[in-house]
Amino acid sequence: MLSSDRRTTDDSRDQSIVIRIIARSLVPFVQLFGLYVIMHGHSSPGGGFQGGVILGASFILLSIADSVEEARRRFSLATMTLYTSAGVSLYAGLGLVCLLLGGNFLDYGVLPITDARSIGMLIIEIGVGLTVMAAMASIFHDLITFE
């Protein structure tokens, strides 16, 4: 009976190493795809919300593959608050700049740059992506810490 208990423990340790290696191998590709979805969301299917969900899921995958302590370290409440605030600030800040330039809120046409509408939509998509990614990670943090 002792040898079967030891074998079960060794098997679970081996599985966690395999899971960790596979997760760490997949995450860069998942994150690259999430960034692609965000960056091309203003001109093709996808966008900030979908890309943010993909990025958030990649961070959650890393946390699940590692320990709960590692997840707590990576997803501190202060970090997630910072990312959420940065995303909302990008969104609202661009709208405020448009208002200050004499246009309507999020009227990208008043921006003094070439291809203003395309760049304005890209900034909005990045802001939404950051906010969604941080919100997903924050929800996961709340679920694993029970706080």
Domain boundaries, the chain: 2-145
Band of the pLDDT at 14, cuts 50, 70, 90?
A: low
How far apart are alpha carbons 81 and 88 in whole angstroms?
11
What's the whole-number mean pLDDT along residues 21-32? 93
User: Between 43 and 83, whose confidence is greater?
Assistant: 83
What's the whole-number mean pLDDT along residues 72-92? 88
Residue 4: per-residue pLDDT: 47
Question: Looking at the predicted structure, is the pLDDT value of residue 107 above 60?
Answer: yes
User: Between 142 and 3, whose confidence is greater?
Assistant: 142
Q: How many other C-beta atoms are found inside a 10 Å radius of the C-beta of residue 64?
A: 15
Q: Three-class SS of residue 44?
A: coil
Average pLDDT, the chain: 84
What's the whole-number mean pLDDT along residues 21-29? 92
Which tens digits make up the pLDDT trace of 27-71? 999 999 999 999 988 777 778 999 999 999 998 998 888 876 777
What's the whole-number mean pLDDT along residues 102-119? 88
Residue 65: per-residue pLDDT: 87
Q: What distances in angstroms separate CA 37 from CA 48, 64, 68, one per listed residue?
A: 7, 23, 29
